[in-house]
Structure 1
């Protein structure tokens, strides 16, 4: 179980679509809108876990037509987000909108996040510690994942909100945007096109 918790920590804390957008929403809109977005990500993360555990994700993604359409549609949207981040100029934010993406935005983002499927598949297909009671193992894994997921994402939100308060130079803010965009591109490439 300790190996499982360690793997969760390192897979969740590394820059991925969820944590980067959480930081971006915090930087662009503040703490409370970030919490609403984070609530949507949380619901979406658990929905992806259920889709993986039940095998629905495998069935849909294995469909020769639907699987590639969903994969490339997700990748295209995430590339669009990376572009918007990288070219947001001196403002540290993901999209220039009047209102922050809320619960629905967070939920939908997580549903199309290739890293979420890859990570959940790793979590639930490996690290077996209760082979005699698979249902209990799944329940404990969900609990452990969420106990680590919540504080990690709150830290990323805090980091984004803190960036906004630092009053950084335009050049520094632009470099941070480009670094976040590059991180997103790397994560998308690794998650969508493994091996």
Structure 2
């Protein structure tokens, strides 16, 4: 049983720290508004992902997971949402890290980002296929590990963003940083949409 837990832990860690759209938004948010203000997004992304894993594991989203056409629609809707976030990042006021009045995505945006993130769906389905064999205990363990490790992994991206934001010398550097984060998010969307 310990070997199963360790394998789940390794899998969830790779999924949560691998660069992707949620990580890019997290870095950008923490760089612009500080670590504490970015945490609602981190919590939303983590709880949203754990809920996705749970509902897929219970089979409640089975028809979505089995329908290539629905997954394609999800990918395009997710891409549109992520491009909207990229535009928001690129056009954001270049306030320095921790500046008051800087608007960043919150809890619900983080949860929605996971549900519209094809990477989250692929990791969820892959993990469930590898570790959960229609038994309640492995599903519960996998969901709890997914939540805890996602909090850790996405939280690490928030810490990175906070550290980077604190080292940017001024508003011009922050604007360049915002544009770079927006371009990375657009690139991740392009990579998601490529077959």
Paired with 2:176 and 2:32, the residues of 1 have a C-alpha distance of 16
TM-score by length of 2: 0.77
Q: CA deviation at 1:35?
A: 1.3
* 1:163-178 equivalences in 2 (<5 Å): 163-168=164-169, 173=174, 176-178=177-179
* 2:25 is the counterpart of 1:32: no
Paired with 1:35 and 1:109, the residues of 2 have a C-alpha distance of 15
Q: 1:56 to 1:188 in 2, by over 3 A?
A: farther
Please list every run of 5 or more consecutive structure 1 residues that lacks an aligned counterpart in the other structure. none
Q: CA deviation at 1:84?
A: 4.2
Partner of 1:136: 137
Tell me which moved more, 160-169 or 183-192: 183-192
Secondary structure at the residue paired with 1:15?
A: coil
Aligned residues: 187
* 2:156 is the counterpart of 1:115: no
Paired with 2:8 and 2:187, the residues of 1 have a C-alpha distance of 24
* 2:76 is the counterpart of 1:76: no
Q: 1:109 to 1:9 in 2, by over 3 A?
A: same
Please list every run of 5 or more consecutive structure 2 residues that lacks an aligned counterpart in the other structure. none
- Note the aligned Cα RMSD (angstroms): 3.0
Q: 1:48 to 1:56 in 2, by over 3 A?
A: same
Q: CA deviation at 1:44?
A: 1.0
Contact 2:41–2:107 (8 Å) recurs in 1 = yes
Q: 1:69 to 1:152 in 2, by over 3 A?
A: closer
TM-score by length of 1: 0.77
Contact 2:75–2:117 (8 Å) recurs in 1 = no
Q: 1:122 to 1:63 in 2, by over 3 A?
A: closer
Paired with 1:174 and 1:99, the residues of 2 have a C-alpha distance of 15
